[in-house]
Amino acid sequence: MVDAMARHAIGQENTEERANAIPPGFIVNTPEVAEPLIPTDGWPGPEGQAEQFAALWGV
């Protein structure tokens, strides 16, 4: 949404706006599928994301 507002503010067209508006999703329908997601709040992020976050924010 922020990207779309920024593009609109400068008059730039977003030709992929409709395709980009569809959020990705998946169904967790078994405990086995859910188990590895619990400590990640649903998404582990890209490789090295946690370390990059800590370095960026000094935490």
The per-residue pLDDT for range 2-56, each reduced to its tens digit, is: 888 888 899 998 888 788 778 878 888 999 988 887 877 767 778 898 899 999 9
**Spatial distance between the Cα atoms of 35 and 24, rounded to a whole number of angstroms:** 20
The residues near 59 (Cβ < 8 Å, ≥ 6 apart) are 53
Token pair, residue 44, equals: 């582990």
> Between these two residues, 7 and 1, which has the higher pLDDT value?
7
Q: Where are the beta strands (DSSP E) in the chain?
A: none
Q: What is the pLDDT of residue 42?
A: 67
- DSSP structure class, residue 3: H
Tokens linked to 19: 């395709």
Largest Cα span, the chain: 47
